């Protein structure tokens, strides 16, 4: 085919009409989600008080491989989709590799990351079901910004609890949330019992994602017509993100290629699942041999070094018990610059796929990730989010192997977001002060052993 084409776009009518639900086709279904008290298997109804009903149904759906995308959601996807599939000629040249490198550019979304792909459907289903208010937590603010925008699109009020230290140190995402009319509260706050308890004991508490989740959940449970939303980890979030891979599949066809390797960075798994599952389908059904690589930070390596077991999804232990790869819900990752990857566990579906050997994972130190991100920026003109830098680092490792072996492999990675609001992290890298924080085996073992005591 024509090797000179740089970017591949789909016309609007080619934007997916269905999401792909891998749960229906995986060789082994995920283990059930359990009530922490009774240890009984949960059903969608058990989650109705917290999330929109349709999202609860999607969460547990193991029968329908294709789930229709409601037309109002597609209308909103049209504001930024399709996203371009880009051939990284510049990066290939910089590396001198015979590999063909492609990336799916999710950074072109109005909020700068893939998170909007799920924020839109979550807000839509809430609106359809008569909900008036949505709430969530956010760390660095990518998810909060996406939810704030999606809530505004569908006329919902959004209340976001932002971890206090991020609220103070990363003021621009707070400003973005406010631009879309969201009420942003630094967490811990005096507005909830969970927040009050912590603030009374520790008036200068910097906040944590665990506390912010507790505050958002409490608000949802105590406010009429208010639902909680989450930007990663859950099955329905991964489902919505499959628009990434479904588009990429068509665009790779336009390029006349099929990926040998698919790579994405990994926090809770949503962007990895999004780009991988539509291609993994062909490994499961059509005997394709594509490799899928999740790139996680060495400071928070749940897939490469965590344990597969039941654990809570949050630090406070409010959520159901999830069967997943985890470092333990009390694990506190070092305060690295890839804030969106600092989560102790992996989603339930990916965990099962990992256990079954359908995918791989690598962990990457933060200086290697910024080396990769800077090289990519200079070669392709896009400054990647610190999270996405991990995917780029893993891609470079594979492309250099191709160079060594003279192999012309096709590598596809997901550029989950741009880094234009994260330049403070790049400053730290350029100053030479950035340190690596690989977690020790002892710390992981101690943390997992703690789970058995609880």
Ligand X SMILES: *Cc1c(COP(=O)(O)O)cnc(C)c1O
Q: State the residues that interact with ligand X by CB under 6 A.
A: 113, 115, 142, 232, 265-272, 340-341, 385, 387-388, 416-417
- Structure token pair of residue 114: 């893939």
For residue 254, give every residue at least 6 positions away whose Cβ sits within 8 Å of its Cβ, in sequence order, or none. 8, 85
Between residues 54 and 387, which has the closer beta carbon with respect to ligand X? 387
Q: Which is nearer to ligand X, 218 or 296 (CB)?
A: 296
**Nearer to ligand X by C-beta: 208 or 270?**
270
* Closest distance to ligand X from the beta carbon of 411 (Å): 18
Q: Are strands 360-364 and 226-228 parallel, antiparallel or unpaired?
A: unpaired
The structure tokens 């969530």 sit at: 136
Considering beta carbons, is residue 30 or 269 the nearer one to ligand X? 269
Neighbours of 46 (CB within 10 A): 15
Please identify, using beta-carbon distances, which residue of 97 and 142 lies nearer to ligand X: 142
Nearest to 195 by CA among 177, 207, 183: 207
Whole-angstrom Cα Rg for the chain: 21
Smaller CB separation from ligand X, 301 or 340: 340
CB atoms within 10 A of CB 325: 26
Q: What minimum distance in Å lies between the beta carbon of 371 and ligand X?
A: 18
Local structure of residue 417 (DSSP, 8 states)? B
Residue 249 phi/psi, 5-degree rounding, is: -60, -45
Q: CB of 169: closest distance to ligand X in angstroms?
A: 17
Whole-number minimum distance, CB 40 to ligand X, in Å?
A: 28
Closer CB to ligand X, 102 or 143, in the complex: 143
- The distance of closest approach from Cβ of residue 266 to ligand X in the complex, given in angstroms and rounded to an integer, is 5
Q: What is the rounded CA–CA span in Å between residue 403 and residue 363?
A: 21
Report in angstroms how near the CB of residue 340 gets to ligand X at its nearest: 3
Measured CA to CA, the distance from residue 379 to residue 359 in angstroms comes to 29
Least Cα distance to 336 among 266, 414, 434, 267 occurs for: 434
Min separation Cβ 268 and ligand X, Å: 4
Of 163, 114, 145, nearest to 388 by C-alpha is: 114
* DSSP H helices in 183-333: 193-201, 209-222, 235-254, 270-286, 302-305
- Distance (Å, whole) CA 377 – CA 391: 13
Residue 116 or 123 with smaller CB distance to ligand X: 116
Q: Least separation, in Å, of the C-beta of 333 and ligand X?
A: 13
């Amino acid at each position: 085919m024509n090797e000179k084409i740089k970017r591949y776009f789909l016309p609007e009518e080619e934007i997916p009409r269905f999401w792909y639900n891998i749960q229906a086709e995986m060789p082994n279904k995920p283990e059930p989600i359990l009530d922490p008290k009774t240890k009984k298997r949960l059903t969608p109804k058990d989650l109705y008080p917290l999330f929109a009903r349709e999202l609860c149904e999607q969460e547990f759906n193991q029968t329908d491989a294709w789930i229709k995308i409601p037309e109002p959601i597609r209308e909103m996807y049209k504001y930024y989709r399709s996203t371009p599939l880009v051939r990284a000629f510049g990066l290939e040249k910089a590396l001198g590799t015979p590999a063909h490198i492609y990336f799916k550019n999710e950074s072109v979304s109005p909020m700068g990351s893939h998170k909007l792909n799920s924020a839109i459907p979550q807000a839509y289903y809430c609106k359809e079901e008569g909900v008036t208010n949505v709430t969530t937590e956010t760390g660095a603010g990518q998810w909060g910004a996406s939810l704030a925008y999606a809530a505004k699109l569908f006329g919902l009020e959004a209340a976001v609890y932002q971890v206090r230290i991020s609220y103070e140190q990363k003021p621009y995402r707070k400003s973005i949330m406010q631009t879309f009319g969201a009420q942003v509260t630094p967490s811990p706050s005096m507005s909830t019992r969970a927040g009050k308890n912590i603030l009374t004991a520790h008036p200068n508490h910097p906040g944590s994602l665990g506390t912010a989740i507790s505050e958002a959940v409490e608000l949802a449970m105590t406010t009429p017509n208010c639902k909680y939303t989450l930007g990663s980890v859950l099955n329905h979030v991964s489902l919505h993100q499959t628009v990434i891979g479904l588009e990429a599949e068509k665009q790779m066809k336009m390029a006349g290629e099929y990926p040998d390797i698919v790579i994405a960075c990994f926090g809770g798994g949503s962007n990895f699942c999004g780009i991988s599952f539509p291609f993994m389908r062909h490994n499961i059904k059509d005997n394709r041999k594509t490799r899928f690589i999740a790139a996680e930070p060495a400071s928070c390596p749940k897939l490469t070094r965590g344990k597969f077991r039941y654990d809570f999804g949050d630090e406070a232990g409010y959520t159901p018990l999830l069967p997943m790869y985890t470092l333990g819900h009390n694990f506190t990752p070092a305060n690295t610059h890839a804030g969106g990857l600092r989560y102790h566990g992996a989603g339930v579906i990916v965990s099962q796929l990992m256990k079954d050997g359908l995918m791989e994972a690598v962990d990457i130190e933060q200086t290697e990730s910024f080396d990769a991100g800077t090289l990519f920026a200079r070669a392709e003109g896009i400054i990647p989010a610190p999270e996405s830098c991990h995917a780029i680092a893993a891609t470079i490792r594979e492309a250099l192997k191709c160079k060594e072996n003279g192999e012309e492999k096709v590598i596809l990675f997901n550029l989950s977001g741009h880094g234009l609001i994260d330049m403070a992290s790049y400053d730290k890298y350029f100053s030479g002060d950035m340190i690596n924080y690989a977690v020790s085996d002892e710390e992981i073992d101690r943390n997992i052993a703690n789970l058995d005591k609880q």
